[in-house]
Structure 1
């Protein structure tokens, strides 16, 4: 399921970034002038000025060393709005996917004095600390409650007192965090007088109990509040705390909290908050403008969809530590930008506080990411690839609602191009790679796409970054006329007169496309060796329903058909491929992780005549075990169409297993729970099916924690593949 996002984002996709900088992830901030940036290097804070790229050390390691202590190891940093203070995040701990818990220090940049916040709170327990807009206070969450601290006096005030694991203030439960990328759950008002925050009531959500059998002679129970598909959402509400009176006002938003989600909230002015409400099926979105003092909510925008409405872009870097759901405001905050697929393509709209909507990016193409909006020049810059869904380029368009998009990326850079544009719009960091060109970068003058340093430009160094063209891209056409993209790497010293084994890599679900023209795209991270050298053909195909920039119809066609449409598309492609002269139809393997693990099982069980060997990792074997937000978004409600969940689940088809199956799952997987493994094992046993199974104790969804784990997994994977799908031409 969607957990493969972490793996895909960190390995397969090259720089799928919205606005955050690709220089070094979260250790990057633009300067207030819009033409300089700050970055951490060797535990120093340095500043680069564009276009000269002159480097200045702003804070040395000595400056980042509190008296009598070791130097702070900075995980992240941010500046106050007046740029007089620096907020430093350190001593971090992982919470679910990311290390969003730790300690915060505030540095006065004039005196270079350091002050630790949160005195008296448990060590490394602070989350999402933010300086107030006037830089006099700091707010943060600790142990499910919200605090504010006066920077001058050091006085800490606890703003909420009812928080616990089941009543969550200022942050979110597992499902909201995983599926809506909601982690940071509070915001300062623009005048620094109020704080708005989410409260998630998980008291009615049943716990899933994970078991730790290895860290003690007695087993340990680890509960996770986890709403399975078919369970009502965790009720959410938004409160506004007036800091002077410490009174909390709960926003009066219509609707049953158990049948709606509140995935977005943002201040417009000190008395106006915008809130997005999404119904349980996630196909009806409303944007409310809430007058805080009157506590009145008015719908200013509404959208309905037959399938689902994406709250997130599938192309956003939602697992970046500093990812924020921030609106882009226009016209002195009288309107804001919003994505919608209502015309069949993913486009950017301007929505006014009066509800008036304007399409800003018309055309038959998808806007992958909005990068920069120049209101003065009335121009927007964004990533798109209208001609080739495996690639990505920079485009711009005039904001008159009727112009055509113009490609900015030169034709030379065919492949994946990622841009980070300075707030001034004058400069950009351009990153490029393709399947045979190692990633490289350059600073450019945006207007003419001209490198600031010609000698260090991508073009000047292109030849030395290029390697052999081992990846071949191809098209597969199904019987109903659907065209799918595929990629293939043939064995080294390929002999077309011989037949070779083929290994398919699959993901297939709505949160992952695998066929990308980027460097390393065809690398099998689990194979211990070189697949091409050993004599394997490696292939991946993107079916309908994957988040490729091919339009709404392509992406939404999978609604209520996960486990069917994606599987039949993959099998139809494989059926054509195994007829190629150089493919051995008796040596056909398939593998995948998470959603790809589920697809592997379904392919092995539903099409045993094609797939002879399968390796499935962390798979959802029973769709009724996964979380409600993801599963109901793409499949509907099991109370209404249970048969779709059943027929799409691998477990339903396990009785058809004929080939060689290796199934792998971490027992500490908080995402795709271990019960999937035992349910599937029981079903296979019932039908007398022989298979191999490897549980990894206490490993989470990525199966990468613990000494020796990665090496062991690679050896296990490779040994099984070579044994049952031997390499080499015959």
Structure 2
């Protein structure tokens, strides 16, 4: 069997780093003579190219090839370069590997942590004066002098159940916490998180394929209602010594220390403490000298709160910026250091999707929003003083989605523009006039290949289910004939973590297009609660009823769609999804069997009590308060209602949604004598893409199921 790969692979540009002077940016370019990458600088105004670091400079002594650059960081003065290479996966991301430092003044290239095991360093970062680098290795924090390369071990108790300077599985996955330490502004201290997982339940992944005896792989993983890690924040001198700990009020097992960072030009840290129900966020300021804590603000919500990384200190640290949904929409606010003055910066009936740049000198904040079309994204700016209306910066000709990497002085930006028919186009633009200076990567080759297929583009439509209007997309078969009727295949996600109906490239939606070519009308609908900029009411509508309201919305949408379009065959309706979408597929199949004749669920949660506490309790509340919601939202409790054709698939090494969910559902289906198809992928994780030929086999298995159980083509 010969499989040609990457035919429709898209090109990117970067990674880009804006230089200290804001007049140019650095990026990676292949060195065609010796391989590896050069780090080059482009002047933004003139486009002049200069090589800052040649791949020749990145050849370690005694080696013949330059190191492979996975990521790189400049020191504040741009005189030193920190290079990340030889990476390894920790949980679900490549955050462990080797770090090298290149001193541009001496041209000296040195691997850090040479007395430590290779490929164990994490989150290396320069001290403010770039005289040292701190990093984590095997759950302890180290500091290395860049002149002598003397290594000092800052913490010594890490290992086993004690984690210093990084996080356990659930903090990384659900609170986006990975890098767990911070340099003080004066470079004399390090503040860090410590997690103790001793009371967290251990889930075992079983490896049955790499040895003649099975090997259990332990994973501390807090499931709904069980113990969390005990987490605290401490401060230690970079010269070593005992750690001083902040005594944050409240049970450390039933609160999250979700964010911590130093306030610039101070000896204080800001700590965000989120309660277990995740509906109250207390903001503390801690003095690292006397270890006293002061509460400056408390954010509350009747449902749940999301953590935002939008804190920027202004006016000599007298104020900071803060994102909040307090007026019903997600907006940016200016808050005084004592928390007593809270002034809106952005305002209006729209959500701020992402903060791109806060420019105190120019007086503006630049951000992504989409007031008029929830499937699109545009750059806006508002005055930091809150005066005037939001000003759209992205031109109307760029209809779709744009993201930006903006220079610190907000005069330049790298724009990435895309929509459902346009692969990403990387451009250098000037601000605030948004004038395109040059195209950095246009993906024209990919665009031409895709256009040559002459496929039907995604059609974005609205679905009225009575009390709300939902966004949806539709892809028709290439040879579509409106006089015939076609099977309808829904792709679903439906959880608060993401959205499927977006006017972006999404890799060309190749699987959707492939299924459309086979003779299916492919659709996807964003039910209430999905991650779209439709305000607090939209997002919080699903609180306490994950899997309940969403599957109801999906069923109503399916009925309305079948009623609206005469070319759809109501006897041939299928639904499929992955992860949360797998759970949604099962809920729809079991609760609305009269609609869906076939379903395919991948890497799904069958019982919400089996998933991690942080995610599930955020959206469902505590089990003790909402036992009925957990029961009614879990498809396993309705497996007896299965009538149609069902296929379930799972990886046995899934550290996110455990294979346990799969086996428990299988057990329940057998109990009720329900016939179904199943496929297990040994030692594959949540994305089921590890090991040889896995992705191809999975997709072919899916295709065979649909061909057999949901006959394709117009009739």
TM-score (norm 1): 0.92
Q: Is the 8 A contact 2:649 2:679 kept in 1?
A: yes
Q: Is the 8 A contact 2:500 2:524 kept in 1?
A: yes
Matched with 1:603 is 588
Cα–Cα, structure 1 residues 539 and 74, in superposed 2: closer, same or farther, change >3 Å? Answer: same
SS at match of 2:243: strand
- Give the Å deviation of 1:273: 0.6
- Give the Å deviation of 1:247: 2.6
Distance in 2 of aligned mates of 1:460 and 1:39 = 21
Matched with 2:96 is 101
Distance in 2 of aligned mates of 1:87 and 1:613 = 52
Matched with 1:628 is 613
Matched with 2:5 is none
Report how many aligned residue pairs link the two structures.
693
Of residues 60, 73, 79 in structure 1, which corresponds to 2:68?
Answer: 73
Cα–Cα, structure 1 residues 457 and 671, in superposed 2: closer, same or farther, change >3 Å? Answer: closer
Q: Is the 8 A contact 2:401 2:503 kept in 1?
A: yes
Deviates more, 1:40-49 or 1:670-679: 40-49
User: Could you list the per-position Cα deviations for residues 486-508 of structure 1 after superposition, in whole angstroms to 9, with x for gaps in the alignment?
Assistant: 10011112111110001100000
Deviates more, 1:437-446 or 1:136-145: 437-446
Matched with 2:284 is 288
- Give the Å deviation of 1:463: 10
User: Could you list the per-position Cα deviations for residues 608-639 of structure 1 after superposition, in whole angstroms to 9, with x for gaps in the alignment?
Assistant: 11011111100000100000100000000002
Matched with 2:293 is 297
Distance in 2 of aligned mates of 1:447 and 1:293 = 43
Distance in 2 of aligned mates of 1:444 and 1:511 = 31
Matched with 2:307 is 311
- Give the Å deviation of 1:466: 9.4
User: Could you list the per-position Cα deviations for residues 512-534 of structure 1 after superposition, in whole angstroms to 9, with x for gaps in the alignment?
Assistant: 11101112477253x7x822322
Distance in 2 of aligned mates of 1:350 and 1:435 = 36
User: Could you list the per-position Cα deviations for residues 105-164 of structure 1 after superposition, in whole angstroms to 9, with x for gaps in the alignment?
Assistant: 111111111111112211101111111112121111111111112222222121211111
- 1:114-263 correspondence to structure 2 within 5 Å: 114-244=109-239, 246-263=241-258
- Give the Å deviation of 1:660: 0.6
Distance in 2 of aligned mates of 1:85 and 1:377 = 29
Deviates more, 1:199-208 or 1:241-250: 241-250
SS at match of 2:56: coil
Of residues 21, 26, 29 in structure 2, which corresponds to 1:33?
Answer: 21
SS at match of 1:337: strand
- Give the Å deviation of 1:460: 12
Matched with 2:40 is 46
- Give the Å deviation of 1:697: 0.1
Higher RCO, 1 vs 2 (CA within 8 Å, ≥6 residues apart): 1
Cα–Cα, structure 1 residues 460 and 183, in superposed 2: closer, same or farther, change >3 Å? Answer: closer
Distance in 2 of aligned mates of 1:383 and 1:125 = 37
- 1:577-656 correspondence to structure 2 within 5 Å: 577-579=561-563, 580-656=565-641
Matched, 1:503 2:489: yes
Matched, 1:478 2:446: no
Deviates more, 1:325-334 or 1:499-508: 325-334
SS at match of 1:567: helix
Of residues 562, 587, 594 in structure 1, which corresponds to 2:546?
Answer: 562
- 1:300-699 correspondence to structure 2 within 5 Å: 300-312=296-308, 325=309, 327-355=311-339, 356-453=341-438, 467=451, 470-479=457-466, 481-520=467-506, 523-525=509-511, 530-579=514-563, 580-699=565-684
Provide the aligned C-alpha RMSD in A.
Answer: 2.1
Matched with 1:713 is 698
SS at match of 1:677: helix
Matched with 1:57 is 51
Distance in 1 of aligned mates of 2:360 and 2:149 = 41
SS at match of 2:155: coil
Of residues 76, 79, 83 in structure 2, which corresponds to 1:84?
Answer: 79
Q: Is the 8 A contact 1:451 1:457 kept in 2?
A: no
Q: Is the 8 A contact 1:438 1:465 kept in 2?
A: no
SS at match of 1:152: coil
- Give the Å deviation of 1:457: 10
User: Could you list the per-position Cα deviations for residues 16-35 of structure 1 after superposition, in whole angstroms to 9, with x for gaps in the alignment?
Assistant: xxxxxx733xx331100112
Cα–Cα, structure 1 residues 728 and 474, in superposed 2: closer, same or farther, change >3 Å? Answer: same
Q: Is the 8 A contact 1:594 1:619 kept in 2?
A: yes
Distance in 1 of aligned mates of 2:123 and 2:441 = 38
User: Could you list the per-position Cα deviations for residues 657-682 of structure 1 after superposition, in whole angstroms to 9, with x for gaps in the alignment?
Assistant: 01111100000000000100110001
Q: Is the 8 A contact 1:233 1:280 kept in 2?
A: no
Distance in 1 of aligned mates of 2:68 and 2:163 = 29
Deviates more, 1:132-141 or 1:398-407: 398-407
Deviates more, 1:131-140 or 1:496-505: 131-140
Distance in 1 of aligned mates of 2:222 and 2:290 = 34
Q: Is the 8 A contact 1:37 1:48 kept in 2?
A: yes
Distance in 1 of aligned mates of 2:282 and 2:172 = 21
Distance in 2 of aligned mates of 1:148 and 1:459 = 43
User: Could you list the per-position Cα deviations for residues 549-572 of structure 1 after superposition, in whole angstroms to 9, with x for gaps in the alignment?
Assistant: 111100110001111000000000
Deviates more, 1:696-705 or 1:29-38: 29-38
Distance in 2 of aligned mates of 1:353 and 1:294 = 19
